[in-house]
Structure 1
Amino acid sequence: MQPLSIGEFSRMTHLSVRTLRRYHEAGLLVPATVDPATGYRYYAGDQIPTAQVIHRLRELDVPLAAVRRILDAPDPGSRGDLVAQHLHHLEAELDRTRAAVRSLRRLLAPEPAPVAVEVRSVPATRVAAVEADLGTDDVLSWYAGAMAELDAALPALPGPPGGVYDNALFEVGRGHVLVHRPVDDAPRTGRVHPVELPAVELAVATHVGDHDDIEVTYGEVGSWVVANALQVAGPVRETYLVGPRDTDDAAAWRTEIGWPVFSVAPVAGQSSSGRTS
């Protein structure tokens, strides 16, 4: 078959000459021959499908190193697995983008609906817990495993689960996390063990829906705390009144966010019991 000049190959593959040179330098798409005298690159017709695969992978933002691994895979199954991994990564990025858009729409709404906040006295509570020191990126996967372990140890226990999240988790990206279910006599099995959560005064609000924009509700609780001259006094508590363990309908999820605060006097709009009017 007649060799193709780099210009001809460029027109056939919709890859610019500059891009083809870069792929050659990266070892992704090496010309069939290079004239030793002129340095001109020549390609074979059977390299067109490979060039098209590279083009599509790069359109999906697959890094060059990952493209190389895909091309070097020993069989179609291995190549398919590598592509599937990247597609999963893209889907996760898309979910994060959609979540950011929802948060921005909520934040930029001309008159966002106010979040009702109440101050609630919570007594010391005995719970069955699983806890660990974690980085922010590890919390979700760890939570799923920890909650599954709690459910297995306490299969018929009523009452919503909850979590306690160290301030350092938000401030420096790593901190102590504890998930729990309320029970007077907690077992000791696997990672599950009894813990007594101390009594606390909480500024509480309910986040409605999935957790993609939960930071907006956090911010609204924080603003309320500041506006009422209160001081945060400990790790944040969350209570999962309704969540993915209860229903697949994210719109039905309800998460209570509780900011521990110093002892407070009644404030405007709040009764002596601590509830907002």
Structure 2
Amino acid sequence: MLIGDFARLGQVSVRMLRHYDAIGLLTPARVDPWTGYRTYAPEQLGALNRIVALRDLGFGLDAIGEIVAGGIDAGQLQAMLRLRQAQIEEDVRVASTRLAAVESRLRMIEKEKTVPVDLVLKTLPAQRVAGIRATMTHEEFVPRIGEMFGRVADLLAPTGISLETSVATYDEGEAGVDVFTGHPVPDSVAGALPDGLVLVDLPGGRAACGVHLGEMASIGESWQELYRATLDGGHTPAGPCREVYLRSHPHPQSDWVTELQQPVAD
């Protein structure tokens, strides 16, 4: 194959192939002594694929030369690429989470001069909730909350109780946010919890409540609006805030319904 055809099939530039030739990384199968035209054998596509893959993995050309010279089979290279694929996917997930947080913060700023939303004051009943607790930063919420609820659901599955409604409480502290996630349980289960779960008695009392519809990425906006309305109404927040997920998994987040509850001292 002429160098242009080889470059097209290998999805690299002709200039790059000439550079690989110049440094001895991938020499043509034949160079015409009269015209200087480079030609490549189809079998060399395998070597080119390995070079490009190693470049994508972050190796320098000197290191690639040593690796190729030492021999690397397809299985080894596939394993390295799969690991790199997982790393890139995680980077994309983190970047997407940060982007959603920035977009949400922009919307919060845009809403600062809007009229506060109406809130509902109601009396919350006392609840016994079985779940797990963790301390985390606000940036860790999105990936870790889902993992926590999944773990609680697995631990409670043998009890046979309904997991339709879930509850989370949040309490800001010096080390981060103390997060508790769980499900309400009857007394029959509360007395014999599976290992790994803790029982929390959420007290009843007055609370300022509102509803958030849809994605969790924008729930901070709803909380800010609720807090403004709470303070403007002359109410004093008292105790950790709560979220009650009235509609969540297995529905898509765009269809979720979350009640926001902020206990108040009136």
* Range of TM-score over shorter length: 0.5 to 0.7
User: Is the CA contact (8 Å cut-off) linking 2:156 and 2:194 kept in structure 1?
Assistant: no
- How far did 1:135 drift? 1.6
* Aligned-partner SS, 2:265: coil
Alpha-carbon spacing, 1:150–1:228, altered in 2? closer, same or farther (3 Å): farther
CA distance in 2, matches of 1:104, 1:177: 22
Q: Deviation per CA, 1:61-95: give whole Å up to 9, x if none.
A: xxxxx724996798212222222122212330353
For 1:57-206, list aligned pairs within 5 A: 57=56, 67-68=58-59, 75-96=76-97, 99-100=100-101, 102-103=103-104, 106-107=107-108, 108=110, 115-127=117-129, 129-136=130-137, 137=140, 139-157=144-162, 160-168=165-173, 172=174, 174-185=176-187, 186=190, 187-206=192-211
Alpha-carbon spacing, 1:199–1:230, altered in 2? closer, same or farther (3 Å): same
Q: What 5-or-longer segments of structure 2 have no aligned partner?
A: 1-12, 28-47
More helix by share: 2
* Aligned-partner SS, 2:88: helix
- The aligned residue for residue 234 of structure 2 is 229
CA distance in 2, matches of 1:259, 1:110: 20
For 1:35-46, list aligned pairs within 5 A: 43-46=23-26
Q: Which runs of 4+ in 1 moved over 3 A?
A: 47-55, 68-74, 104-116
User: Is the CA contact (8 Å cut-off) linking 2:153 and 2:163 kept in structure 1?
Assistant: no
Q: Deviation per CA, 1:88-145: give whole Å up to 9, x if none.
A: 1233035325524652574437997964421121132223x12223223273254233
Q: TM-score, normalised by structure 1?
A: 0.63
CA distance in 2, matches of 1:97, 1:235: 25
CA distance in 2, matches of 1:158, 1:100: 29
User: Is the CA contact (8 Å cut-off) linking 2:211 and 2:260 kept in structure 1?
Assistant: yes
User: Is the CA contact (8 Å cut-off) linking 2:171 and 2:241 kept in structure 1?
Assistant: yes
Q: What 5-or-longer segments of structure 1 have no aligned partner?
A: 1-9, 15-19, 21-30, 33-41, 58-65, 264-277
CA distance in 2, matches of 1:225, 1:121: 15
- The aligned residue for residue 254 of structure 1 is 257
Larger mean Cα displacement after TM superposition, 159-168 or 131-140: 131-140
Query: Does residue 223 of structure 2 align to residue 218 of structure 1?
Result: yes
Q: What amino acid does structure 1 have at the position aligned with 2:199? A: P
Q: Deviation per CA, 1:171-193: give whole Å up to 9, x if none.
A: x5623322222233123111234
Q: What amino acid does structure 1 have at the position aligned with 2:184? A: P
User: Is the CA contact (8 Å cut-off) linking 1:131 and 1:176 kept in structure 2?
Assistant: no
CA distance in 2, matches of 1:193, 1:110: 39
* Aligned-partner SS, 1:67: coil
User: Is the CA contact (8 Å cut-off) linking 1:159 and 1:182 kept in structure 2?
Assistant: no
User: Is the CA contact (8 Å cut-off) linking 2:241 and 2:263 kept in structure 1?
Assistant: yes
* Aligned-partner SS, 1:166: strand
Alpha-carbon spacing, 1:191–1:110, altered in 2? closer, same or farther (3 Å): closer
Q: TM-score, normalised by structure 2?
A: 0.65
Q: What amino acid does structure 1 have at the position aligned with 2:23? A: Y
The alignment's C-alpha RMSD in Å is: 3.7
- How far did 1:11 drift? 8.4
